[in-house]
Amino acid sequence: MFSNGLPCNLPFPSCLGMPKDSGSDELLPRSMGNREPVILNVYDMYWINDYSSSLGIGVFHSGVEIYGCEFAYGGHPFAFTGVFEISPRDDNELGDQFRFRQSIQIGCTDFNEVEVRRIIEEIGNQFRGDRYHLMNNNCNHFSSSLTQILCGQEIPGWVNRLAHFSSCVPFLQRCLPKEWLTPNALSIAIQNQERDSDTSPL
């Protein structure tokens, strides 16, 4: 369920490097006719990127912004969706571990807002909280899956450094702060889901 109540170069591999201009926005014109822009919002996983960016290493969280809302994915121990909704580029909603970095327009879509929410609800079955995996099923995999459906384009490869990094350091997921896997906004969505379940008639 979404937070608004809707269902819904060192001895590290070169694949970990960040693009030279990754701090600048890459937004294209807002729309092409009536088509809606599909925007990727990328966040530094504070604090690690403060120290690692000079080494060419980046670990990122991402979400997809469309129709004025941003959708992202995180992990939790329950058998329902880990997809949640925040205000676009609002790292405060994600928590202290996150810091907004940049926006990238991936493309445009012909899907209307109702159709987009249905798509997100459907792929939420694939991106359940208890199926989160640092290498194979993380927030950036969700973002890429969603942008492929909406506009036929994957997200830039450098964004999913978390998966590449974890493949080099297999125990990394056990070492990460819980807030990286379950951001504040997702924790609130889980609490709302549990509250609704407790108050629903049998």
The pair phi, psi for residue 5, each rounded to 5°, is 95, -5
How far apart (Å, rounded) are the C-alpha atoms in residues 155 and 138? Answer: 13
- Classify residue 165 as exposed, middle or buried by CB count within 10 Å of its CB (0-12, 13-18, 19+): buried
Contact 82, 73 (CB under 8 A): yes
**Planar angle of CA 16, 18, 21, nearest 5 degrees:** 170
Name the active-site residue from 61, 76, 141, 164.
61
Q: Which two tokens stand for residue 59?
A: 């670990």
State both tokens at 10. Answer: 């060192």
Q: Which residue in 8, 108, 139, 151 is the catalytic one? A: 139
Distances (CA, A) of 31 to 20, 88, 201: 27, 17, 45
Q: Is 61 considered catalytic here?
A: yes
Residues with active-site annotation: 61, 139
